Each structure stands twice: as C-alpha cells, then as structure tokens.
Amino acid sequence: MEMTLRWHGSKFDTVTQKQIRQIPGVTGVITTWYDTQPGEVWSRKRIRAMKDEVEAAGLHIAGIESVNIHDDIKTGQGNRENILKIILRH
C-alpha cells in the first residue's frame, strides 16, 4: 500500500509539499485543479508543470481526482456529444 496525502496545489493549499514530505511513509500526493470548469480540457503543459513541481519536492502524483465533468455528460443530455468531441479530440 502506498501512503499519499491530498494536496490541492500550491495556489489552493496552505499545506506545503515540504510539510507533506515530513510525514513518515508519504511518497505521493492526490491532487486536483479547482480553477477548471466542467468539460475544460487540461493542457499537457499544465499537467507537466504540476508533475515537475511535485517531483521537485521529492514526491509523485499518485492521482488527480475531483475531475470536473459537465452535467450534460453525467446525465446524457443537452450538449453532451459536442462536449465529448472536444474532450476526446485532445
């Protein structure tokens, strides 16, 4: 079993990665982006920047959760097909 801690990112969390590294056994973080809108595509550049920041602190990203999913996708209604085309294109 891997020990991880939820980390909201340097813009959104008062706990630093340096503090997380001090917790015995913790090797990774579960993170998210609170400033994205449902259906918004994450750029590779942004994912790489987050990965680099976490690895520079001696940790790794074990997962990214709280992915914002547009309500139209969840319910299978509205603009679902257009949103999926945009997401899958990337």
One digit per residue, the tens of pLDDT, for the chain of length 90 reads: 899 999 988 888 899 999 999 999 999 999 888 787 766 778 889 889 999 999 999 999 998 876 666 677 778 777 777 777 776 665
* The pair of three-digit structure tokens given for residue 83, joined into one six-digit string: 């949103």
pLDDT at 90: 55
Closest CA to 50 of 70, 66, 67, 30: 30
Task: Indicate the residue type of 88.
Answer: L
Q: How many domains does the chain have?
A: 1
Please, which residues bridge with residue 6 across strands?
30
Domain that holds residue 40: 3-89
Judging by beta carbons within 10 Å of its beta carbon (0-12, 13-18, 19+), is residue 73 exposed, middle or buried?
middle
